[in-house]
Amino acid sequence: MDTQNPLNSWKTLKSELVYESPWIAVHKHQTINPAGKPAMYSVVNFKNLAIGIIPLSKDGFTWLVGQWRYPLNAYSWEIPEGGGPLGEEPIETAQRELKEETGIVAKSYSKLMELHLSNSATDETAHVFLATDLSFEEAEPEETEDLKLKKVHIHEAFNMVLNGEITDAISVSAIYKVKYMLDKGELIL
């Protein structure tokens, strides 16, 4: 925790690791809160960056990935996503994940945004890219992934967000951003 930043009104007295897996660590912090009172704060620290990619064809189509999300006990349609080690360049993870999940290889990547997900309880950071100039190969999903692909126009993806068919935060944010860029003429198909 950054106790030297003048904007930080929290004071950490003691931190303890209470759980760890290959993907996360949970720390319990004894603190003094901004009101000057003792408080307990637990934080989930992620060991990977979250990565999202919107592959976009010249005619405005993108590819969504459908899969069962165990923590939600629900099926989810999302942009291609994955995780990469904290020391790896996000663009390298994006290239690998796009190929792995969809079989798509892009010649051009541009960063759309960086997001902090559930920042009241986690330090998870997402990097989201737009991938263009696409070619197609075989997908190489991991053994834990049972993926379905859906090719949709970006406007249909936006409607899926509006209708609640896409609820994943990274996907919602990225689709909104691409739609905004198209509407403002900042992105030309």
Q: Report the DSSP pairing between strands 24-32 and 38-46.
A: antiparallel
Q: Does residue 2 carry a pLDDT above 80?
A: no
User: In the chain, what percentage of residues exceed pLDDT 70?
Assistant: 98
DSSP 8-state class, residue 71: G
The reported pLDDT for the residue numbered 144 is: 78
Q: Does residue 47 carry a pLDDT above 70?
A: yes
Closest alpha carbon to 187 in 21, 39, 58, 51? 58
The reported pLDDT for the residue numbered 1 is: 55
DSSP H or E stretch at residue 96: helix 90-102
pLDDT digits (tens, 9 = 90+) for 158-186: 999 999 999 999 999 999 999 999 999 99
For the chain, the average pLDDT equals: 95
The reported pLDDT for the residue numbered 26 is: 98
pLDDT: which is higher, 187 or 2:
187
Give the confidence band of 143 by pLDDT, cuts at 50, 70, 90: confident
Q: Does residue 3 carry a pLDDT above 70?
A: no
The 10 Å CB-count burial string (b at 16+, else e) for 89-105 is ebbebbbebbbbbbbbe
Degrees (nearest 5) of the Cα angle 96, 85, 148? 40
pLDDT digits (tens, 9 = 90+) for 74-120: 999 999 999 999 999 999 999 999 999 999 999 999 999 999 999 99
The reported pLDDT for the residue numbered 164 is: 98
- Give the global pTM: 0.91
CA atoms of 93 and 98, how far apart (whole Å): 8
